[in-house]
Structure 1
Amino acid sequence: MKSTIVVIAAALAVGLGVGVGQGIMGGAMPWAQAHTTLETLDAQEQGVVQVYRQVSPAVVSVRQRAGAGSGVLIREDGVILTNAHVVGTARAVQVDLADGRSVQGEVLGRDPSIDIAVLRIAGRNLPVAPIGDSDRLEPGQAAIAIGNPFGLDRTVTSGVVSAVNREIPGLGMDGLIQTDAAINPGNSGGPLLDSRGRVIGINTAVLRPPGEVAVGLGFAVPINMANDVVQQILTTGRIVRPFVGISHFDLNPQAAAQFNLPVREGVIVAQVVPGSPAAQAGIRQQDIITRIDDTPITSGGDLRRVLRNRQPGDVLTVTVLRPAGATTLRVRLGTAPTS
């Protein structure tokens, strides 16, 4: 199993106290009157409960000799998404379903570079989680995680999307969703959901400072990125992704106004990989990408959407903005490494 960035510890304590004085003397037990129904909850709580009821039957436990994690059914014929680090190098894993059954799962393929694996179990009309659109996420919107932390099956936690397009130093992954919904060991491979119960990410890692056990930053692989792996594995049996060779961050109107830039949206090139297609085409650090072919680029999500529809070898016409003005470059896409 891939460990979290810092080793963490957890303690579970359960306490129960019952008063036997006033409640019994009055002929009624206060805790007996505290039965909660969905109607007694506020709108936010009702939303989390409804998402849990809808999606938890599709959340599974994935086990192999080296450890365990979570997964989520995304097709009625038994296709499951999880993390590559959950399955490791195994070709078969044990999958525990919400209905109590334990079945064997076949590992159809994996892409360690984005920590995604695709499994299949035998079955028909299985419960599935609907798929959302991670390219349209906004920081601040609701995020709900369901998984099996510390072996506690189908645990739900909630929070918000804290940021998008994050990179974890030292992990070699970028474009991640950051969330404050609690994610712990065992949550890996489980779904991160929006307020309508749609999968927006696959939980993959938690970052915690030394000595902290309760506060952490959770990260998930965007579902659009993961779903691209699913489609390739199911159709061709292998994963091929185009490669530009840049890291980037979004330009927002506030930063554009602060630095008096002539555009308000786009993608700023943070780094260019030496020898990459971007470097060979002449893309430079601090270039602002505003258009690819006929598609305006206002954010990293736009860039990822364009690349998902292209193949290695395709040539892109990339418009970049520099202090001297706009220029157009031609980038021939390479093949992304898979490990």
Structure 2
Amino acid sequence: MISKKYRRNSVAICLVLALGGAYAILHRPADAVVNEVQASTSASGGGGTAKTSASSPAAPDFSGIVARYGPAVVHIGVKEAASIDENGQSTSGGEALGSGFIISQDGYILTNNHVVDGASSVSVKLTDGREFHARVIGKDKTTDVAVVKIDASNLPTVRIGNPDNSKVGEWVVAIGSPYGFDSTVTSGIISAKSRSFSDDSPIPFIQTDVPVNPGNSGGPLFNLNGEVIGINSMIYSRTGGFQGLSFAIPIDAAMHVKDQLVSTGHVTRGRIGVGVQPLGADKAKALGLDSNSGAFVGSVDPDGPAQAAGLRAGDVIISVNGKHIGSPTELIGQIAQLSPGSDASVGVWRSGAERKLPMVIGAQQSPERAETAPRQQRQQQSGPRLGVAVRPLSDDEQQQAQLPGGLMVQQATGPAAAAGIRTGDIIVAVDGELIRSVEQLRDMIAQANDSVSITVVRDGEQASVEVPLS
């Protein structure tokens, strides 16, 4: 639990917020964490694509998509178990709401991890009014994907699309339960692709301007063909509500996680052992490339798969298994989806020419295993010890928060989450020392002993929390 001390600041801070668990009822406060045919409603029969309205040619008619696939979108209710606080007092469990969508007729449903995380029971309500108890088949914090199952048959299902075929500027549609209003339909466009909130995130988020709010989390994002291309997961906001920036997990990444959760109950991810960075226009020109797409290799792990395959610092990775790589985020996402031990062909640009390097994909270390790794290994990467993904504050954020330094928490897991640190908190000090950079935080956590005192600012208030590290 975080104990409050201290000062107030009325200026709102820009936060990344998870959507699903953010709409809560009863005892649970709002979660601030960082949410084949084509059918129509015409008498002639049916499809699932959007039509252009006769009265407004520029605006698509989404009624066909809603009629065909709306029944496959579900309302998810979550009950949390009672817990004991730091003073030994019992706290009653809360209830929260989210969304999900049916991907198989026998009852498998996709949603967000943060919708069902910590649940003592999960219920699913269909649009026809039927309600079922649901089992959590598996969940993955890294991608924020979870799979739940209900015992039913002949259920309506969505159609899965390919996010790679989507383009910035295209119309998209969300269906979900914002603030508990079931089957709410909103629309907008794809604003950007391959957004990332941390350097090592395996998810290249789809950014949209579709109005989504707390309770939308876990719901589907449809293209105009009625295909699901993403799971609505987060918003970027200064108020806690929608302000034009929403983010969805690409459905291909989510389905990859789903397949592993259903078959094994856990997720493995590939790695090749490189440190990469964006390729600037000047560097691309100097290397003889026509564009600055790709991932510039700044370092190579001497014991990793890339080193064994002959990859060098200074190479530019431009493809994986023939698929174009436009940025480091895309590279991380593509490699993460490859199975450890599988063969891959990595296209690199070196000395003015492209070459293919055969490579055997390695395995990422899971957070659970990282927690039990030797101390020397953990000191090389402080994230698993503390369990946060952070980024520097922008100049505007720093000015609005009236802080001399600090790092925005984009994801909190492990010890940090257990101690009460949330996405959207600003870490301002460790053991009383002001934090000004990610590298400083990493070094301090690596050198710490068994615990640290973390000072954060949340909603204009300063608080301190003791975080055990081992």
TM over 0.5, shorter chain: yes
Is 1:297 the counterpart of 2:324 in the alignment?
yes
Q: Contact between 1:71 and 1:190, CA under 8 Å: does it hold in 2? A: yes
Q: Map of 1:1-20 to 2, 5 A cutoff? A: 5=16
Map 1:238-257 onto structure 2 (within 5 A).
238-245=266-273
Aligned to 2:425: none
Alpha-carbon distance change, 112 to 198 in structure 1, aligned in 2, over 3 angstroms: same
Paired position in structure 2 for 1:185: 214
The amino acid across from 2:347 in the alignment is: T
* CA distance 1:71–1:245, shift in 2 (3 Å): farther
| Gap change, CA 1:214 and 1:302, over 3 Å in 2 | closer
The answer as to whether partners of 2:284 and 2:292 remain within 8 angstroms in 1 is no
Letter in 2 for 1:204: S
> Which deviates more from structure 2 when the two are superposed, residues 211-220 or residues 197-206?
211-220
* Structure 1, 109-118 or 262-271: larger mean CA deviation: 262-271
How far is the alpha carbon of 1:321 from its aligned partner? 1.4
Deviation at 1:141, TM superposition (A): 1.2
| Residue 249 (structure 1) shift | 8.3
Q: In the alignment, is residue 267 of structure 1 matched against residue 294 of structure 2?
A: yes
Q: Counterparts of 1:113 and 1:207 in 2: how far apart (Å)?
A: 19
The equivalent residue for 1:94 is 123
| 1:240 Cα deviation from its structure 2 partner | 2.1
CA separation in 1, counterparts of 2:75 and 2:184? 11
**Residue-by-residue CA offset, 1:96-124 (whole Å, 9 max, x unaligned):** 11111111011111111100001111111
Q: Give the residue type in structure 1 aligned to 2:214.
A: P
CA contact (8 A) 1:93 1:105 kept: yes
How many Å separate the matches in 2 of 1:188 and 1:329? 40
Structure 1 residue 284: Cα displacement: 6.1
Give the whole-Å Cα distance in 1 for the aligned partners of 2:263 and 2:146. 15
CA deviation after TM superposition for structure 1 residue 82, in Å: 0.1
Name the structure 1 match of 2:63: 49
User: How much does 1:288 deviate?
Assistant: 2.4
Question: Is 1:127 matched with 2:127?
Answer: no
Contact 2:17 2:236 in 1 (8 A): yes
CA distance 1:246–1:148, change in 2 (3 Å): farther
Contact kept in structure 1, 2:202 and 2:332, CA below 8 Å: no
State whether residues 204 and 249 of structure 2, in contact with CA within 8 Å, keep that contact through their aligned partners in structure 1.
Answer: yes
- Give the Cα separation in 2 of the matches to 1:99 and 1:240: 37
Matched, 1:160 2:171: no
Task: State which of 225, 244, 248 in structure 2 corresponds to 1:196.
Answer: 225
Assess if the C-alpha contact under 8 Å between 2:213 and 2:241 holds in 1. no
Alignment gaps of 5+ in structure 2: 1-14, 24-51, 81-95, 368-470
* Contact persistence 1:297–1:303 (CA under 8 A): no
Counterpart Cα distance in 2 of 1:7 and 1:76: 28
- Count of paired positions: 305
Distance across 1 between alignment mates of 2:299 and 2:210: 33
1:207, distance to aligned residue in structure 2 (A)? 0.7
The offset of 1:58, in angstroms, is 0.8
Alignment check: 8 A CA contact 2:107 2:153 kept: yes
Structure 1 residues 270-321: Cα deviation after superposition (integer angstroms, max 9, x where no partner):
776867846645656764223446x253546986897587421234342311
> Any conservation in 1 of the 2:173–2:221 contact (CA below 8 Å)?
yes
1:151 to partner: Cα distance: 0.7
Partner of 1:177: helix, strand, or coil?
strand
1:222 aligns with 2:236: no
**Helix, strand or coil at the partner of 2:257:** helix
Query: d(CA) in 1 for partners of 2:278 and 2:168?
Result: 13
Give how far 1:5 is off: 2.0
Pick closer, same or farther for the CA change 1:7–1:89 going to 2, 3 Å.
Answer: closer
Query: Alpha-carbon deviations, 1:160-192, whole Å to 9, x = none?
Result: 111111112599563111111011110100001
Instruction: Report whether the alignment pairs 1:143 with 2:154.
Output: no
* 1:249-283 C-alpha deviation (Å, 9 max, x unpaired): 8989xx69994743458522377686784664565
Helix, strand or coil for the counterpart of 1:126? coil
Letter in 2 for 1:297: H
CA distance in 2, matches of 1:97, 1:121: 11
In the superposition, relative to structure 1, how do residues 332 and 136 fare at CA in structure 2: closer, same or farther (>3 Å)? same
Change (3 A) 1:186 1:93: same
Is 2:364 the partner of 1:336?
yes
Distance (whole Å) between structure 1 residues aligned to residue 364 and residue 120 of structure 2: 24
1:313 is matched with which residue? 341
| C-alpha distance in structure 1 between counterparts of 2:231 and 2:169, whole Å | 18
Deviation at 1:133, TM superposition (A): 0.6
- Which amino acid is 2:260 matched to? Q
Is the contact made by 1:277 and 1:332 (CA closer than 8 Å) also made in structure 2? no
State whether residues 161 and 179 of structure 1, in contact with CA within 8 Å, keep that contact through their aligned partners in structure 2: yes
Secondary structure of the residue aligned to 1:55 is helix
The percentage of counterpart residues that share the same residue type is 34
- C-alpha distance in structure 2 between counterparts of 1:184 and 1:100, whole Å: 23
1:211 is displaced (CA, Å) by 4.6
CA distance in 2, matches of 1:52, 1:276: 51
Q: How many angstroms apart in 2 are the aligned matches of 1:86 and 1:311?
A: 27
Query: Matched residues in 2 for 1:272 and 1:72: separation?
Result: 41
* Partners of 1:272 and 1:283 within 8 A in 2: no
Alpha-carbon displacement from aligned partner over 1:138-175 (angstroms, at most 9, x marks no partner): 11111111111111111111111111111125995631
Contact 2:102 2:109 in 1 (8 A): yes
One of 231, 238, 249 as aligned partner of 2:259:
231
Q: Distance in 2 between matches of 1:192 and 1:7?
A: 16
**Cα separation, 1, equivalents of 2:200 and 2:180:** 25
Q: Which amino acid aligns with 1:227?
A: M
User: Which residue of structure 2 aligns with residue 62 of structure 1?
Assistant: 76
